[in-house]
Amino acid sequence: MTLRVDGLTVRFGGNTAVDGATFEAPLGRVTGLIGPNGAGKTTTFNACSGLLRPSAGQIRLSGKDVTAMVPSARAQRGLGRTFQRMELFDSLTVEQNVAIGREARLARSRPLKQLWCPPAERTEVREATEEALELCEIGALRRETAGSLSTGQRRLVDLARVLAGGFTMLLLDEPSSGLDTAETKRFGEIVIRVVAERGCGVLLVEHDMALVMSVCEYLYVLDFGELIFEGTPEQVRASDVVRAAYLGSEAA
Amino acid sequence: MTDLLPFLVIGLTTGSVYGLAAMGLVLTYKTSGIFNFAHGAIAALAAYAFYEVKVVRGLPWPVALLVAVVVLPPLVAMLMERVTRALAGATTTMKIVATIGIQLIITGALLAHYGAAGLTFPAFLPADTIELFGVYVGIDQLVSACVAALGALGFFVFFTFSPLGVRMRAVVDDPDLLSLAGTSPFAVRSWAWLIGSHFAAISGVLLAPLIGLDALLLTLLVVQAYGAAAVGLFASLPMTYAGGLLIGVLAALATNVVSGSVVLSGLPPAMPFLVLFAVLLLAGKRRLVDIGATRPTPPQPPLLGPRTARIVALVVIGIGIAVPFLVGAKLPVYANALVFVLIFSSLQLLVRTSGQVSLAHAGLVAVGAATFSHLAVGAGLPWLVAVLLAGAVAVPVGALVAIPAIRLSGLFLALATFGFGLLLENVVYRTGLLFGASGSLPAPRPDGLGGDLPFYYVLLGFAVAGVLLVAAVGRSRLGRLLRAMADSPTSLATLGLGVNVTRVTVFGISAFLAGVAGALYASQGHSATGTPFTSFTSLTWLTVLVLCGAARSAAPLAAAIVFAVLPAYGGGEADGSSGWMPVLFGVGALLVALHESSARRGRSHVSAEWPTGSRAAERIGSPGRAAARERVAHRDVDSAVRVRVGAAGGAR
Amino acid sequence: MFELDSITAGYSGSVVLRDVSLWVPPRSVVALLGANGAGKTTLLRVASGLLKPSAGRMRLDGVDVTGKPPHVLARHGVCHVPEGRGVFPHLTVRDNLTIQATGGSAAEAVERAVSAFPILGEKLNQQAGALSGGQQQMLALAHAYVIDPSHVLLDEVSMGLAPVVVDEIFESLAKLAASGCALLLVEQYISRALELADYAYLITRGGIEFAGEPGELDGDQLTAKYLGTPLRS
């Protein structure tokens, strides 16, 4: 289930935030999307998950055009995402947060399913929740209220929630922001393990190069909303274009 | 055409005044982020102040005018400015409740002091007529229209060209940036409140001669301003004024069209709400950006553990069973209170559990009451069947109310449901669909259980069942989804949930309970009428529920006692929607809103006085609507992230 | 002299800045460097009064201004050009300048702004939001020319701009510095910022990690801070 983005363009009023970006994120691989501040990474993400309607371009999931679909319909097709701002359900416990990752997907848009959880699904939800809690190593926090956690813990809850949903393509939005070096490292390890165990695809938007370089197998670099480079982490490291984009033209 | 001309003239006259009122409303909303539900009440207050000075004190009319439109508005403006400043950072619900509280205080006090019957407003302008384009027009009307038009025009010029006007527009764009440029946004907002209050007061004094001195009518008539404001999408001032004219003309023309028809007689006064409802539905989220929107506060944890709560619940039911033996002749009061337990439970499900403010709740209860009578008396169905079917019939109506919930949220949902409720009340109540032209229908009690005592226990059974139903919903998957939705609908949608279905479902359940409650209310009172279920009632219910919010899941019970039982021991009022009670509820709700807002701020380091305003469409710097929408959606989240970003740093 | 002394500040109960001290001497350029989320913007928000510090003192030319609201600080000569575009998008360029003038003469404000950024002269009656990103940034920067600030705080003024516009912006920053006001500069183009700077601060996760002259900063160490890992390993 490859996520393929073709010529994605997003305009706000007269300004173009993303300009003709084309890239793909296949299964079984961690694909990175990087770029300096304001390059349009999060906008690209929001367009992929359906929170923004692109001005032009196509977004395909396993070949199926999902550009016009609402977020929940894309999620039903296996596209899950986390948020840089970690939109957790702050008033619920960690366990409930993670469980809802599965329940929301089971309940879909069916009124009765939303109202009532059949026993078979109850087991399914419990199993998915346990597995996700274990993968993210946050089982000990299950009774805590999400709003009371530290940033590092919240990142993991956000990840566990989307893992419990059983999505095959995960969009991770700046997962390291607010994490210290140790937490970032741990987060990276979990992502690698998830991809190895489940064979799902990950698209990672990130500014922490240490994390990007250690988990991504392939990188796309955005600047001013345009794709300026793509390649393996080694190629990106060696690229003068990328260095210039990050540090200013004279730094090259 | 020529026979329509008089209506056109009348329409433009009143429309001009609506336009002026609406401009004041939009100005204060845009600059402060607080939508002032009390705007109409301020107009009524000014009209009554005029009456008090001129008629009661017998002073000449210029003095009365001076008091009403020069002295009074600054006092009101000062109050409003203080309240809104204190509300910075409050949840959308609390912002709505606070100004509704103020409206209840003003309107309630006027009703209690001057009585509900309309008084004759002293004409102070010459009532002679002159001929204009072949139509005879009263000089007073002409003066009203011209004063309003000049006021609107003058304000538009001021707003566009004067330094203060420019700063008012700047406050709308970005209050933080304005303060960085050396101008205090609070000073600018004070001016906006001053102008807004003046406009409300002037329109009150201009409208009163046309419609008579009736607190409720005046309050609601300047609510016409909502419709006008909607035409301007709550943003454009010239369009708002034009919207006022449009509504005035539509209402006047509708008067002409429906004259003679009893059924449709409610249409002209309902015109603004029709416009409001239509605009809110058609415009949708993209165009309507609630500038004051904030993230909801997570609901507090329950006061008691599950075990203690169960014991307390049993004790309460025990007391409920014992009540008839303790209260003697006051039993009907308690029977009524049981119905209100149901009503407040259904409202709680919407307001507290799912974080959606509905102001059409009394309408749903009325639908239940009328339907019950039609089914039980008209169709002769058994009592219990009729009661349950009344609930079922209310469900599609509730779903209809939910349409705005799907498309809108927060403030605009509240406004749309308010419009819907008024529409129901003004247009549908008097038709054969509901209470008919006479306004009252018979409502039976169940055979063999019709006595006050047995029927009390029937009601107790329903109340307990209703509370259990709401509790069950709270513990069900839907309950979890609703609580999650109150925190973040966005992430629920990206997890695959059809959140629109969730919203409609909860409105449906709430409507069912409200419908059943309506049937029981009618049955308890032996008749079904629309009188106890006005939009004013909806507002009162909301404030009472919020007032009792500290009781958490027991809030419906507390609210029922406060609303239906306490007044019986106070001044002998029927219930909490008459006498001085609304004033007390208004004060209470306002205090609760202010308290919750300050408690929320207390948890943050962010200064109350200098709230983090909109950091204009940050990365993109776009003026576009999309960016504005994003900005609103992310503003709070944005600061939250920065916090967390820092939290990790600080922990090292 | 603008002194921030042991500032602790944050949002909603969490701490972003912890015990940060920073001086901006008169007529000097101070570069404030650090990775995303380190607390640079928060520090500027504290300095201009948008955010009240929970602890610490602020002194402006010896006068204690801790806890003063932004409009008061602005009148004392602190000019903050915020992150993003510091313009009122729905107002015309002229109205934007009028507001920047803080009650001073609007005509003079326009004159000063246009002499600093001639292109603005052609756009006076356009809505600021309709300008290009670079022009909006110039309009925001014009604030520093319209009034005579003693201290200008600049937050990522070059962000998202095309290289040629960035050049122009930096030229005008140099001009501002030469005119004698002190600059506190947050910039992602580190090398350019350091060229301009007399002093540099490096802030990491809410604390000052380095303070000194730009020459003392180790380039590779700096790159590592920004990109997380040395580009040439």
Give DSSP secondary structure letters for B21-36: HHHHHHHHHHHHS---
Residue B66, token pair as written in the block: 């001076």
End-to-end CA distance of chain A: 38
Residue A153: how many other CB atoms lie within 10 Å: 17
Q: Which of C69, C88, C128 shows the shortest C-beta gap to B610?
A: C69
Amino acid B357: pLDDT:
87
Distance (Å) from the C-alpha of residue C22 to the closest C-alpha of chain B? 18
- CA–CA distances in Å: residue A57 to residues A71, A169, B449, C233: 17, 20, 68, 38
CA distance B560 to B565: 7
pLDDT at A250 over 90: no
Amino acid C210: pLDDT:
86
Residue to substitute from C36, C161, C232, interface A, most A β-carbons within 10 A: C36
pLDDT at C232 over 60: no
Alpha helices per DSSP H over B323-434: 324-327, 331-348, 361-373, 383-407, 410-423
| Residues in chain C within 8 Å Cβ distance of A178 | 37
pLDDT at C94 over 90: yes
Give the per-residue SS3 of chain A. Answer: CCEEEEEEEEEECCEEEEEEEEEEECCCCEEEEECCCCCCHHHHHHHHHCCCCCCEEEEEECCEECCCCCHHHHHHCCEEECCCCCCCCCCCEHHHHHHHHHHHHHHCCCHHHHHCCCHHHHHHHHHHHHHHHHHCCCHHHCCCEHHHCCHHHHHHHHHHHHHHCCCCEEEEECCCCCCCHHHHHHHHHHHHHHHHHHCCEEEEECCCHHHHHHHCCEEEEEECCEEEEEECHHHHHHCHHHHHHHHCHHHC
End-to-end CA distance of chain C: 41
Which residues make beta-bridge pairs with C79?
A: C152
User: Which chains are within 8 Å of A by 3+ CB pairs?
Assistant: B, C
pLDDT at B547 over 60: yes
Q: Which of A15, A74, A87 shows the shortest C-beta gap to B620?
A: A15
A208 in contact with C at a CB cutoff of 8 Å?
yes
A182 in contact with C at a CB cutoff of 8 Å?
no
Distance (Å) from the C-alpha of residue C190 to the closest C-alpha of chain A? 6
For the domain spanning B2-287, the CATH number is 1.10.3470
- The CATH 1.10.3470 portion of chain B extends over 2-287
Residues 504-563 of B with CB under 8 A from A: 504-505
Q: Where do the domains of chain A lie?
A: 1-74+207-252
pLDDT tens-digit readout, B500-509: 899 899 999 9
pLDDT at B611 over 50: no
Identify which of B622, B605, B577 has the alpha carbon closest to the alpha carbon of residue A14.
B622
User: Contact B620/A12, CB-based, under 8 Å?
Assistant: yes
| Residues in chain A within 8 Å Cβ distance of B478 | 114-116
A38 in contact with B at a CB cutoff of 8 Å?
yes
pLDDT tens-digit readout, B253-286: 888 777 666 666 777 777 888 888 788 778 766 5
Amino acid B574: pLDDT:
57
Amino acid B647: pLDDT:
28
pLDDT at C223 over 80: no
E strand residue ranges, C91-216 = 151-155, 182-186, 199-204, 207-212
> Which CATH architecture is the domain C2-83+149-227 placed in?
3-Layer(aba) Sandwich (3.40)
Amino acid B624: pLDDT:
34
- ipTM of the complex in this document: 0.93
- pLDDT (mean) for A170-176: 90
Check if the beta carbon of residue B25 is closer than 8 Å to that of residue B39: yes
As a residue count, chain A comes to: 252
pLDDT band (50, 70, 90) for residue A252: very low
pLDDT tens-digit readout, B175-203: 999 999 999 999 999 999 999 999 999 99
Q: Which amino acid is at A163?
A: L
C160 phi and psi angles, rounded to 5 deg = 70, 15
Identify which of B595, B608, B403, B577 has the alpha carbon closest to the alpha carbon of residue B500.
B403
Which residues make beta-bridge pairs with B130?
A: B137
Residue B412, token pair as written in the block: 């605009």
pLDDT band (50, 70, 90) for residue B626: very low
- pLDDT (mean) for A69-97: 90
Amino acid B627: pLDDT:
35
Amino acid B4: pLDDT:
77
Q: Where do the domains of chain C lie?
A: 2-83+149-227
SS3 C29: strand
- CA–CA distances in Å: residue C119 to residues B608, C95, C175: 39, 16, 17
Q: What is the mean pLDDT of chain C?
A: 87
pLDDT at C11 over 80: no
SS3 C127: strand
Amino acid B634: pLDDT:
36
B286 in contact with A at a CB cutoff of 8 Å?
no
User: Contact A37/C223, CB-based, under 8 Å?
Assistant: no
Q: What percent of chain B has pLDDT over 90?
A: 48
- pLDDT (mean) for C131-159: 91
User: In a 10 Å sphere around its CB, with 0-12 CB exposed, 13-18 middle and 19+ buried, how is residue A197 labelled?
Assistant: exposed
User: Contact A101/B634, CB-based, under 8 Å?
Assistant: no
pLDDT at A32 over 90: yes
pLDDT tens-digit readout, B105-131: 999 999 889 987 778 888 788 778 887
Q: What is the mean pLDDT of chain B?
A: 83
Name the range with the highest mean pLDDT among B218-227, B567-576, C40-49: C40-49
| Residues in chain B within 8 Å Cβ distance of A105 | 495-497
pLDDT at B53 over 60: yes
Amino acid B604: pLDDT:
43
| Residues in chain A within 8 Å Cβ distance of C168 | none
C129 in contact with A at a CB cutoff of 8 Å?
yes
Q: Which of B298, B481, B646 shows the shortest C-beta gap to A147?
A: B298
Q: What percent of chain B has pLDDT over 70?
A: 86
- pLDDT (mean) for B378-383: 93
User: Contact A247/C223, CB-based, under 8 Å?
Assistant: yes
Q: How many CB pairs under 8 A join A and B?
A: 174
pLDDT band (50, 70, 90) for residue C172: very high
Q: What is the mean pLDDT of chain A?
A: 88
pLDDT at B625 over 50: no
Poorest-pLDDT segment among B119-128, B532-541, C69-78, C98-107: B119-128
Amino acid B633: pLDDT:
34
User: Contact C162/A246, CB-based, under 8 Å?
Assistant: no
CA distance C38 to C203: 6
Amino acid B281: pLDDT:
77
Check if the beta carbon of residue A85 is closer than 8 Å to that of residue B488: no
pLDDT at A153 over 80: yes
pLDDT band (50, 70, 90) for residue B607: very low
Amino acid B575: pLDDT:
61
Residues 163-202 of C with CB under 8 A from B: none
For the domain spanning A1-74+207-252, the CATH number is 3.40.50.300
Amino acid A14: pLDDT:
63
pLDDT tens-digit readout, B57-108: 999 999 999 999 999 999 999 999 999 999 987 888 889 999 999 999 999 9
- CA–CA distances in Å: residue C180 to residues A10, A100, A105, B54, B273: 42, 59, 61, 65, 60
B652 in contact with C at a CB cutoff of 8 Å?
yes
- Top-confidence residue, B305 or B50: B50
Amino acid B617: pLDDT:
27
Check if the beta carbon of residue B47 is closer than 8 Å to that of residue B68: yes
The C-alpha torsion from B68 through B70 and B76 to B79, rounded to 10°, is -150
Residue to substitute from B158, B605, B609, interface C, most C β-carbons within 10 A: B605
- pLDDT (mean) for A142-151: 86
pLDDT band (50, 70, 90) for residue B632: very low
CA distance B517 to B510: 11
Amino acid B284: pLDDT:
62
CA distance B455 to B468: 20
